[in-house]
Amino acid sequence: MRTLRIVGFTFALAFLLTSCSDNLLDIENPNQQTSETFWSNGDQALQGVNAAYEPLTYDGMYNRMLHAAQDIRSDEAVAPSPFPPYINADNFSLPAEDGFVVALPWNHGYQGVFYSNQVISRVPDIDMDEDLKSRIIGEAKFLRSHYYFKLVKLYRNVPLITEEVSDPNNVERPQADPDSVWAQIIRDLEDAQEALPESYETDVGRATWGAATAYLGKAHLFNENWQQADTEFKKIIDSGLYQLVDNPRWNGDLQHENNAESIWEIQFTTEVGGNVVGWGGVPAPDWGERQTRSITFAPEGYGWADVEPSSGLFQEFQQEQSVSGEDDPRLDATMFYNHPGETVYGDDFQEVYGENSDRIFWRKYETDLPGTSEGTTGNGLNIRAMRYADVLLMYAETRNELGDQATAAQYIQMVRDRANLPDRESEFASLSQEQMRDRIAHERMVELAGEGKRFDDIRRWGWFDDEEKMQQLIENDPGFEGYVDGREYLPIPQNELDTNPAAEQNPGYTGGT
């Protein structure tokens, strides 16, 4: 089974699709393809959509900064880091001039939109196999929806560009009403759902029917379209395509990528590409296909330890023990912590950090291979962008919002069973809707810790406007004391404000701060 590895083509495509100069002194190279000559056959259509996947692996997306923008700003992570962008992300003081957490997700998200729009615009006119054409367009629409999903969640007020940009000098792009961005996301996902297959014989990692359906449900969930979200999640459940794997650790390790629980993974590898780490900037052909989240989130002595789990997250796991009286196994799958027999990269935890150490570090998405460390070039561990347990818990949420607490309890317990936690289904079924919301919040926090879900959850649940919930967040992570109204979204990057005359800064940020 071959996984999808896209290396270098994006950089070539960007060069190939530049327009010829109007300067009469320039000599046209008849062998250099342009946007008018490239899109001529099925192979080129496939190359084009491959390029649209590539920004997912850039520093501003799943490589590193997307995790900073989502995990660090949640109450499940803290940033005891010397790196100002991480410190500022943790205490809600990111300036618009920040070139990492603020600028890179914007830049690389719109690169993905640009490549996706090219495919959607150009491929329909190619004379090629119609089934392949439909699939490629479906992939591009899924990818465009995903980039916009990230952009609208992070920044809220973003330009909505759905056509291929023909005039790069036209930089005036008005920000769209967020509702119209969400509507476009939903339309793209509906189209992708119709066009994409359930699976691929090769190239695992391409968008599938399941990925489009799960994200379609999630888009409706984020907009409180409970019945529509419920319907899509039930399609996933009834399809029989996915199941919970036996060990929760398998959802964040190197040995069990693309497993039965995975609905969509961002593919990374150390086996192809260059060895250069793309720390932001303009992508270059010698960049590797590695993710560097692992370096910055790795435990002290095995990486940079820029980001650590919060004590609040650790305590959340302590609320309940397994049927056998042991810690919730998801705790060990999520973080390194001091308990009998604990090792870190094969070394005894107490020998490394001290017999009575209370240090905690991320284990999820770390290789944890004995005798190694995360080094300075990152690892090839895939990021699980969407998995079945998330769908089950989102379905429990829609069931609760629709007044069906009994079914919500059933699906919550299904996820708990994998962790060998006590059967409390009947107890949960008797909860009120509000009590069930709190139960779901807990279950999502411990199941999906470190996967970039928590911040989105607390924002969409309205916790920033709830004094009691805000106090809970502050207790989990003192960085929330720096929260200012409106800063649940990132600032619009200063470079965008400087170059786009139609851009306006988000509420909560004034001037360049």
Helical (H) or strand (E) element with 140: helix 130-155
The pLDDT of residue 4: 64
Rounded to whole angstroms, the Cα distance separating 365 from 379 reads 9
The pLDDT of residue 19: 34
Rounded to whole angstroms, the Cα distance separating 194 from 52 reads 20
The confidence band for 326, taking pLDDT boundaries of 50, 70 and 90, is: very high
Q: What is the pLDDT of residues 448-489, one digit of tens each?
A: 999 999 999 999 999 999 999 999 999 999 999 999 999 999
Rounded to whole angstroms, the Cα distance separating 77 from 508 reads 23
Q: In 3D, which of 196, 235, 199 has the Cα closest to residue 214?
A: 235
The pLDDT of residue 24: 35
List, in order of start, the domains of the chain with CATH numbers: 1-21+31-196+481-513 (1.25.40.390), 293-381 (no CATH)
pTM over 0.85: yes
Rounded to whole angstroms, the Cα distance separating 208 from 113 reads 19
Q: In the predicted model, is pLDDT for residue 444 greater than 60? A: yes
The pLDDT of residue 155: 98
The pLDDT of residue 195: 98
Q: What is the pLDDT of residues 252-306, one digit of tens each?
A: 999 999 999 999 999 999 888 777 777 776 778 787 888 999 999 999 999 999 9
Q: Which two tokens stand for residue 295?
A: 């370096």
Q: Which residues contact 71 (CB under 8 A, 6 or more apart)?
A: 77, 307, 450, 452, 454, 455
Q: Which residue has the tokens 């056959």?
A: 41
Average pLDDT over residues 330-335: 98
The confidence band for 251, taking pLDDT boundaries of 50, 70 and 90, is: very high
Q: Using an 8 Å Cβ cutoff, are 141 and 120 in contact?
A: yes
Least confident of 18-32, 82-96, 426-440, 477-491: 18-32
Rounded to whole angstroms, the Cα distance separating 155 from 139 reads 24
Rounded to whole angstroms, the Cα distance separating 465 from 462 reads 6
Q: Which two tokens stand for residue 52?
A: 């649209």
Q: What is the number of alpha carbons within 13 Å of residue 109 lying toward its C-beta?
A: 24
What is the chain's mean pLDDT, rounded?
Answer: 92
Q: What is the pLDDT of residues 34-73, one digit of tens each?
A: 667 799 999 999 999 999 999 999 999 999 999 999 999 9
Angle at 311 between CA 80 and CA 388, to 5 degrees: 100
Average pLDDT over residues 340-362: 98
Rounded to whole angstroms, the Cα distance separating 443 from 234 reads 19
Q: Using an 8 Å Cβ cutoff, are 372 and 380 in contact?
A: no
Phi, psi angle pair for 262, to nearest 5°: -80, 125
The pLDDT of residue 247: 97
Instruction: List residues bridging with 287 in a β-sheet.
Output: 276
The pLDDT of residue 33: 64
Residue 501, Cβ density class (10 Å: 0-12 exposed, 13-18 middle, ≥19 buried): exposed
The pLDDT of residue 5: 54
Residue 291, Cβ density class (10 Å: 0-12 exposed, 13-18 middle, ≥19 buried): buried
Average pLDDT over residues 88-103: 97
Q: Using an 8 Å Cβ cutoff, are 402 and 227 in contact?
A: yes
User: In this prediction, what percent of the chain has a pLDDT beyond 70?
Assistant: 92
Q: Using an 8 Å Cβ cutoff, are 115 and 55 in contact?
A: yes
The confidence band for 166, taking pLDDT boundaries of 50, 70 and 90, is: confident
Helical (H) or strand (E) element with 186: helix 178-195
Phi, psi angle pair for 504, to nearest 5°: -125, 145
Please tell me which residue, 15 or 368, carries the higher pLDDT value: 368
Print the SS3 string covering 439-456.
HHHHHHHHHCCCCCCHHH
Alpha-helix runs per DSSP H in 6-102: 9-16, 42-53, 65-67, 84-90
Q: Which two tokens stand for residue 141?
A: 């629409």
The confidence band for 26, taking pLDDT boundaries of 50, 70 and 90, is: very low
Instruction: List residues bridging with 327 in a β-sheet.
Output: 321
Q: In 3D, which of 147, 44, 60, 150 has the Cα closest to residue 107?
A: 60
Helical (H) or strand (E) element with 105: helix 103-122
The confidence band for 22, taking pLDDT boundaries of 50, 70 and 90, is: very low
What 3-state DSSP class applies to 68? helix
The confidence band for 29, taking pLDDT boundaries of 50, 70 and 90, is: low
Under DSSP, the state recorded for 24 is T
The pLDDT of residue 34: 66
Phi, psi angle pair for 80, to nearest 5°: -80, 65
Q: Which residue has the tokens 């590895």?
A: 5
Average pLDDT over residues 104-130: 97
The pLDDT of residue 397: 99
The pLDDT of residue 425: 98
Q: In the predicted model, is pLDDT for residue 441 greater than 60? A: yes
Instruction: List residues bridging with 254 in a β-sheet.
Output: none
The pLDDT of residue 513: 43
The pLDDT of residue 215: 99
Q: Using an 8 Å Cβ cutoff, are 221 and 398 in contact?
A: yes
The pLDDT of residue 288: 80
